[in-house]
Amino acid sequence: MGSVTVSGMEEMAELDAREQAILALERQGWPGPGAKERAIRERLGLAPVRYYQLLNALLDDERALAHDPVTVNRLRRVREARRAER
């Protein structure tokens, strides 16, 4: 039997409730610029800056990709397009 590495255990673990809530928030459409920030504060209890830090880390997490590939891939494309503009 082979041993399971730490990274292997991370891949098997599921996203926690907050990580799932972040991806769920990203799946929604937002009517105006302040609505999303208000939802971030009210639903998740996070400052928008912290939310976007967590979201950015999630985009590099294979567990997030397995959980919601459509949203994660869309956000990865948006992030790469913004990086290319710089």
Residues ≥6 apart with Cβ < 8 Å to 14: 63, 67
CA neighbor of 40 nearest in space, from 67, 56, 54, 22: 22
Q: How far is CA 42 from CA 27, 38, 46, in A?
A: 17, 6, 8
Among 79, 33, 82, smallest CA distance to 56 is for 79
What pLDDT, on a 0 to 100 scale, did the predictor assign at position 3?
43
| pLDDT tens for the chain, residues 1 to 86 | 444 444 444 445 899 999 999 999 999 988 887 999 999 999 999 999 999 999 999 999 999 999 999 999 999 999 999 999 98
Query: Quick one: pLDDT at residue 12?
Result: 58
pLDDT of residue 13: 82
| pTM score | 0.80
Strand, coil or helix: what is 81?
helix
